[in-house]
Amino acid sequence: MKLPVILLLACNALALAVERPAGFLGIAWGASPEEVKRVLQKRPGVTFPENADDYKIELTGGAFAGQPVAKWVIEFPDRKFAVATVTLKTDGSSGTVGKELCSQLASKYGSMNMDKHSGGTAKKGAQPQPTSRASIWKFPPSLKDKNSVLISVEISGATMKGGDETGGTVTIKYVNETLTGAAMTAATGGKPAPKTTAPVKKEDL
């Protein structure tokens, strides 16, 4: 019985040793929309919409991680901050910017858990095909922090030229899966959300 206990303690000690995101830009998970708005309004160049609601805010401008931002999307299920999505302006250098983001995240949070690639294959001499790549860091709950958190860096729509990815977009996303999961459970009365399939619209065909 001692070995499982020792392994459990060792795993938790390792989890505590690895830095994990306590929020986004100094904003704690679960913060109110008002708190988030106050912080983001202080960032130079960020433009707020005229009618920002308490569940989803879409902003433009400013910078994140030293890169100009095309769009910010901040989400508040149950009016608690749980998701931040930032799409960057990369001026055609999505591959370079994406790699630098991943490098900086790895230096802070350790190695990524998943690295997914799709597209980009084409016959010799054919037009380069758009590629997609998602690098993901997952932070499971620990004794100190009960939240399950995910960070992803996504490069989409880029094409390979000269061994590098050009064009396309880079999006970085911070998600508190514990808060989003709790909101989904509450919305469905404690039952998993039923799977639905949207009907095919004949007029769109």
| Average pLDDT, 10 consecutive residues per value, the chain (205 residues) | 44 55 94 94 90 88 94 95 95 85 92 79 58 90 91 81 65 95 64 52 41
Which residues lie across from 121 on neighbouring strands?
A: none
Is there a contact between 71 and 60 (Cβ–Cβ < 8 Å)?
yes
Q: How many domains does the chain have?
A: 1
103 belongs to a structural domain: yes
CA–CA gap between residue 179 and residue 173 (Å, rounded): 15
112 belongs to a structural domain: yes
Q: Which pLDDT belongs to residue 191?
A: 58
- What size, in residues, is the chain? 205
Which residues lie across from 85 on neighbouring strands?
A: 73, 173
Q: Which pLDDT belongs to residue 192?
A: 53
Q: Which pLDDT belongs to residue 186?
A: 59
11 belongs to a structural domain: no
* Tokens matching residue 111: 């190695």
CA–CA gap between residue 67 and residue 176 (Å, rounded): 23
Q: Any residues with CB less than 8 A from the CB of 146 and at least 6 apart, and which?
A: 178
The residue range of the domain holding 82 is 25-119+129-188
* Strand segments (E) across 12-145: 23-24, 27-28, 56-59, 63-64, 67-75, 83-88, 114-119, 130-139
CA–CA gap between residue 108 and residue 126 (Å, rounded): 40
Q: Which pLDDT belongs to residue 127?
A: 60
Q: Which pLDDT belongs to residue 34?
A: 93
Q: List C-alpha distances in Å: 185 to 181, 182, 189, 201.
A: 6, 5, 6, 30
